[in-house]
Amino acid sequence: MRTVFEPSCATAVAVRAQELGKRYGNQWALRDCTFELPQGRVAALVGANGAGKTTLMSVLASLLKADEGSAHAVGRVAFVSQEKPVYRNFSAADMLRLGARLNIVWDQTRAVRWLERFEIPLDRACGKLSGGQHAQVAFALAIGSRPSVLILDEPLANLDPLARREVSQELLSEVAETGMTVLLSTHVVAELGGVADYLLLLARGRLLSGGDVDDLLASHVFITGPRSEVLPVASSAVLQARHHDNQSTFLLRLPDRQPRPFVGRPWSQRAVTLEDYVLAQLQSTRKGDDA
């Protein structure tokens, strides 16, 4: 666990990045990354392979030094990397004892509760646990350290579908009970609905989109109708246009605070899910669009 930054004043911002940049050699992995993550939120960090997610989280956790800009996280920060590091010869109970020794603040009850919740044997060497069980030990250690900001690099990888849902639910409970802020990277976008309430979307090292999930979804709409290159409504920004056989579907970004446009038959509209939104954004960068 590392403290990235001491709070300079009482604020509702848990993590602040200002024009953050990080390069490996002469290749920028992260560039011009500016955002504020409010306290008590579960933020999803998404992006294609190589987009810079691990780099961003490592900089926020002070494991990497930024080459440009600044990063501030309020209070204690815990980071669980993709590798979910634990000592192979230590049992889960040994790992918790280590956590108690290494952390200034330690909540043994909370750490044990996490392991019991996921039925992780306390006395078995971590090297003899499955990949998913091993990950749970790393999560328990992080939770036990009572972080203000918990950063998880692909926490759902290695977990079976039920465990993914349960880990997400447990994280939400921890957030509700402790007020901590969670930043998690994931490729399992379909399972973010109802979990993440804040989004940071990275593309090629740059922040493509970010903000409150409800606001993002409320400002987008799908419109479907007979195949057409022409929109049935005026002047909305098209994030995505798909044409199949006799049907066209447009994903529109609505102007700030504007209600959904009226579309008459045979056109219809439907709400956008977080997965729809993320996939459309990722696809737009793949095509080289700037939408």
Ligand X SMILES: Nc1ncnc2c1ncn2[C@@H]1O[C@H](COP(=O)(O)OP(=O)(O)OP(=O)(O)O)[C@@H](O)[C@H]1O
Q: Does 286 interact with ligand X (rule: CB under 6 A)? A: no
Which C-beta is closer to ligand X: that of 125 or that of 279?
Answer: 279
Q: Does 137 interact with ligand X (rule: CB under 6 A)? A: no
**Contact status, residue 14 vs residue 76, Cβ threshold 8 Å:** no
From the list 50-58, 193-201, 237-245, 275-283, the region that binds ligand X by CB under 6 A is: 50-58
Q: Does 26 interact with ligand X (rule: CB under 6 A)? A: no
How near is the Cβ of 53 to ligand X at its closest, in Å? 3
CB atoms within 10 A of CB 219: 18
Distance CA 107, CA 113 (A): 10
The closest alpha carbon to 4, from 69, 78, 85, belongs to 78
From the list 53-61, 97-105, 165-173, 245-253, the region that binds ligand X by CB under 6 A is: 53-61
How near is the Cβ of 29 to ligand X at its closest, in Å? 3
Which C-beta is closer to ligand X: that of 128 or that of 187?
Answer: 187
How near is the Cβ of 63 to ligand X at its closest, in Å? 11
Alpha helices for the chain (secondary structure H): 53-60, 92-102, 108-117, 131-144, 161-178, 213-218, 274-286
Q: Strand, coil or helix: what is 231?
A: coil
Return the residue of 29, 73, 78, 216 that touches ligand X, per CB under 6 A: 29
From the list 48-56, 112-120, 134-142, 191-199, the region that binds ligand X by CB under 6 A is: 48-56
Return the residue of 50, 127, 161, 193 that touches ligand X, per CB under 6 A: 50
Q: Does 54 interact with ligand X (rule: CB under 6 A)? A: yes
Return the residue of 4, 55, 188, 208 that touches ligand X, per CB under 6 A: 55
Q: Does 155 interact with ligand X (rule: CB under 6 A)? A: no
Given 3-state DSSP classes, what are the helix, strand and coil percentages for the chain, each rounded to the nearest 5? 30, 35, 35
Q: Does 51 interact with ligand X (rule: CB under 6 A)? A: yes
Q: Does 225 interact with ligand X (rule: CB under 6 A)? A: no
How near is the Cβ of 204 to ligand X at its closest, in Å? 8
**Contact status, residue 200 vs residue 207, Cβ threshold 8 Å:** yes
Distance CA 237, CA 255 (A): 8
CA angle 259, 262, 267 (to 5 degrees): 130
Total chain residues near ligand X (CB under 6 A): 10
Residue the block writes with tokens 């309020």 = 74
From the list 52-60, 137-145, 155-163, 190-198, the region that binds ligand X by CB under 6 A is: 52-60
Return the residue of 49, 235, 246, 258 that touches ligand X, per CB under 6 A: 49
Return the residue of 16, 31, 53, 134 that touches ligand X, per CB under 6 A: 53
Q: Is 285 left (phi over 0), alpha (psi -120 to 50) or beta?
A: alpha
Estimate the crossing angle of helix 131-144 against helix 108-117, to 10 degrees: 160
Estimate the crossing angle of helix 108-117 against helix 92-102, to 10 degrees: 150
Which C-beta is closer to ligand X: that of 153 or that of 170?
Answer: 153
Residues interacting with ligand X, by CB under 6 A? 24, 29, 47, 49-55
